[in-house]
């Protein structure tokens, strides 16, 4: 019962916090590293005391950051999305698991290889969740499109 009440109050506080503005800002960019290879940067600034979760947060915990990429025959993904930021791992009793999260700035990086020299866009979405020590905002999804020239 205590967990349910905590969750209900967290959701109510989350909606109140959303009305005051988002505690995060996403930006997207491409960095050409060779003729047909690009690093795609998915950068998020999270205002203190908020934090966002790693892609590798375990089941049963908060929503991990997840990337979905639109299919495009003009490029291939090279590896998986890497995380660059101050990673913190701790047990969160409300979720009952050890979570991995980032405070402040996080740069998620995906390498792509173009199959031809044609200009194209890399598009998709990122699903994520932000919390502080008292509440979580509902999971959100941001769409993006990054020009590869």
Cβ–Cβ < 8 Å for 28, 7 = no
Backbone dihedral angles phi then psi of residue 85, each to the nearest 5 degrees: 175, 180
Share above pLDDT 90 across residues of the chain, in percent, rounded to a whole number: 79
d(CA 2, CA 24): 29
Domains within the chain, CATH numbers bracketed: 2-148 (2.60.40.1250)
Q: To the nearest whole number, what is the mean pLDDT of the chain? A: 88
* Per-residue confidence (pLDDT) for residue 32, from 0 to 100: 96
Q: What is the pLDDT of residues 73-85, one digit of tens each?
A: 999 999 999 999 9
- Residue 104: half-sphere exposure toward Cβ, Cα within 13 Å: 6
What pTM did the predictor assign?
0.84
């Amino acid at each position: 019962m205590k967990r349910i009440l905590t969750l209900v109050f967290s959701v109510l506080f989350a909606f109140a916090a959303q009305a005051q503005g988002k505690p995060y800002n996403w930006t997207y960019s491409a960095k050409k590293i060779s003729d047909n290879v690009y690093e795609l940067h998915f950068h998020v600034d999270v205002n203190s005391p908020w934090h966002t979760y790693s892609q590798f947060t375990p089941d049963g915990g908060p929503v991990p950051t997840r990337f979905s990429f639109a299919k495009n025959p003009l490029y291939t993904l090279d590896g998986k999305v890497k995380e660059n930021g101050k990673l913190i791992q701790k047990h969160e009793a409300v979720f009952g698991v050890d979570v991995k999260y980032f405070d402040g700035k996080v740069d998620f990086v995906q390498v792509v290889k173009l199959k031809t020299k044609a200009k194209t866009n890399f598009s998709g979405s990122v699903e994520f969740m932000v919390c502080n020590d008292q509440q979580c905002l509902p999971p959100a999804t941001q769409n993006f499109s990054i020009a590869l020239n």
